[in-house]
């Protein structure tokens, strides 16, 4: 009976130590979110390639060797933002993340006109205004409404083999994220 009580007490003390260590580690890990890691590397509306840029050493490269990625911080406080890239890839996806790192919108090339990456990001109330102001510009653009005022646009492209690497990098270099 004494051994059982000793094992339970030892387990409780060990669990307490683990919990205290986790509490001490939280501040270190909580400041390493996507927003705080990309902010010093890229100014708003500046695109940074996650696997290629020397200034992006603290940014995570995609875990998948068949993917290349680029990110762009945006701010909708002055109006809509247009995200577009030139060229064609076998697959691309666009994800919009808020400042907290939550994915609020995601789409891939199958849903766009002629598989082109051309989007206009707007806050909830100015989507109609963006359509009215630049009607001819937005003919083939996809308007995404309800995007948070500040966020990150992440574009991933599929690179099936080495022969596609330069094409993928050129596609990501052409990625443009700018206010309208």
The C-alpha atoms of residue 52 and residue 170 are separated, in whole angstroms, by 12
Q: Once rounded to an integer, what is the mean pLDDT over residues 5-31?
A: 87
Taking CA 38 as the corner, what is the angle to CA 36 and CA 40, rounded to the nearest 5 degrees? 80
Lowest mean pLDDT among 53-57, 80-84, 105-109, 176-180: 53-57
The chain-wide mean pLDDT, for the chain, equals: 82
What pLDDT is stored for residue 11 in this prediction?
95
Which residue has better confidence, 109 or 112?
109
Q: Are strands 92-98 and 103-108 parallel, antiparallel or unpaired?
A: antiparallel
34-90 tens-digit pLDDT:
777 787 777 888 888 887 655 545 555 556 778 888 999 998 888 888 999 988 888
Q: What are phi and psi of 106, to 5 degrees?
A: -150, 140
In the 8-state DSSP scheme, what is residue 140? Answer: S
pLDDT over 70 percentage in the chain: 81
pLDDT at residue 62, as a whole number: 58
Q: What is the CA radius of gyration of the chain?
A: 22
* Sheet-wide strand order for 150-158: 47-49, 67-75, 150-158, 92-98, 103-108
The rounded distance, in Å, linking the Cα atoms of 156 and 94 is 7
Extract the tokens encoding 90: 């076998």
Categorize the per-residue pLDDT at 25 as very low, low, confident or very high, splitting at 50, 70 and 90.
Answer: confident
């Amino acid at each position: 009976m004494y051994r059982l009580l000793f094992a339970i007490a030892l387990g409780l003390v060990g669990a307490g130590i683990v919990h205290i260590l986790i509490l001490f580690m939280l501040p270190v890990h909580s400041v390493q979110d996507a927003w705080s890691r990309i902010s010093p590397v890229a100014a708003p509306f500046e695109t940074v390639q996650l696997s290629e840029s020397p200034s992006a050493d603290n940014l995570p490269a995609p875990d998948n060797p068949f993917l290349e990625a680029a990110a762009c911080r945006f701010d909708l406080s002055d109006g809509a933002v247009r995200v577009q890239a030139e060229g064609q890839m076998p697959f691309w996806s666009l994800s919009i993340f808020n400042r907290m790192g939550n994915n609020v919108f995601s789409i891939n090339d199958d849903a766009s006109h002629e598989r082109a990456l051309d989007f206009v990001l707007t806050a909830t109330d100015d989507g109609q205004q963006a359509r009215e102001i630049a009607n001819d510009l937005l003919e083939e653009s996809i308007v995404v409404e309800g995007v948070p005022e500040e966020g990150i646009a992440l574009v991933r492209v599929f690179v099936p083999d080495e022969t596609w690497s330069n094409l993928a990098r050129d596609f990501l270099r052409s990625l443009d994220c700018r206010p309208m």
